[in-house]
Amino acid sequence: MVTFKQLEAIYWVVQAGGFSQAARKLHTTQSAISKRVHELETLFDTLLFDRAQRTARLTEKGEEMFMLAKRLLEQRDASVEQFGRPDVVERRLRIGITELTAMTWLPKLVNQIHLHYPKVVIEPDVDMSINLREKLLADDIELMIVPDAYPDPHFASKPVGKVENVWMCKPGLIDSNRTIPLHELATYRLLADKSGTGMLYDRWFKSNGFQSPEIITSNSIVALIGMAVSGLGISYFPKHCLSQMNAMGMLKPLDVTPGLPDVTYVATYKSELRSSLIASIVELAQECCDFRVMLQT
């Protein structure tokens, strides 16, 4: 088996200009350097130095071995430096996020991660939270940021922020100049998402005796917005990030009582995972989380 001491021997014989010079560089004896070179020659059954010359001159195979030794020693030194510095992390990180996060504060989070960990490659996986849960269980992602709808003993979760949702519809679909009792909305078609937020609100609807006669579900908030703008029904959307659409007269917020509860988003990972990088990313997510503005940087 080739050792780093053997590789250092051939490297420094060439770089320092001889066996005795290499010995001084490596703080050992000339005989030790000769022994290490000889071990390499025996291992590969080939001469690395032309001993007919007065100076240490490499053979053709010796040149190949020298270049190999140089690369391996550089890789070793780089690895030692990296592992010796906790602030330098180089890896790929797969983060599962919902469409709403992608539309609002994901760019800000990615910028912050790159600022703190420039060698970490982020791979966002945008999907329904119920699918992200399965991906986390299967180790297809290491972290997911989703509504707090999936308590599971396999997971550990930390809150990152909240979404304030309100009822909205196309202007004119409902008389919006008054406070509307929740039960009155039951006469309209409901446009609902079928992921985490939808699951949480479905439970809340049942607890408040609310049931729409017709429901259209979708896994896309963009699709739900489009259907609401077209007047196909009522839906619930983040109060602030769609304010521009409200100002343009495309959607109208409704004052409904009781109001919708806020949805807590959590950063979730496997409970047995022990990673300082994941812990740091969760803290950055807590700092960046803001569902009020679209496409933050």
For residue 80, is pLDDT > 70?
A: no
What domains can you pick out in the chain, each with its CATH number? Answer: 4-83 (1.10.10.10), 91-162+264-288 (3.40.190.10), 165-261 (3.40.190.10)
- Cα angle 267, 265, 119 (rounded to 5 degrees) comes to 35
Higher-pLDDT residue of 185, 154? 185
Confidence of residue 296 (pLDDT cuts 50, 70, 90): confident
Calculate what percentage of the chain has a pLDDT beyond 70: 96
Cβ atoms of 41 and 2 within 8 Å: the answer is: no
Compute the mean pLDDT over every residue in the chain, rounded to the nearest whole number: 90
How many other CB atoms sit within 10 Å of the CB of residue 109?
25
Calculate what percentage of the chain has a pLDDT beyond 90: 64
* Mean local confidence (pLDDT), 141-161: 93
* Mean local confidence (pLDDT), 40-66: 86
pLDDT at 55: 75
* Mean local confidence (pLDDT), 227-248: 94
Distance CA 36, CA 15 (A): 16
pLDDT at 281: 94
172: region left, alpha or beta (phi > 0 left; psi from -120 to 50 alpha): left
pLDDT at 83: 61
For residue 286, is pLDDT > 60?
A: yes
Confidence of residue 81 (pLDDT cuts 50, 70, 90): low
Using one digit for the tens of pLDDT, what is the confidence trace for 96-142? 999 999 999 999 999 999 998 888 889 999 999 999 999 999 999 99
Using one digit for the tens of pLDDT, what is the confidence trace for 82-92? 665 545 456 78
Cis peptide before 118 (omega within 30 of 0): no
For residue 291, is pLDDT > 70?
A: yes
pLDDT at 90: 64
* Mean local confidence (pLDDT), 141-165: 94
* Mean local confidence (pLDDT), 258-263: 97
For residue 270, is pLDDT > 80?
A: yes
CA 90 to chain centre: 13
Nearest CA to 266 among 177, 175, 149?
Answer: 149
pLDDT at 274: 77
Distance CA 233, CA 227 (A): 7
- Between 45-54, 95-104, 191-200, the lowest mean confidence (pLDDT) is in 45-54
Distance CA 5, CA 73 (A): 10
Using one digit for the tens of pLDDT, what is the confidence trace for 205-232? 999 999 998 999 999 999 999 999 999 9
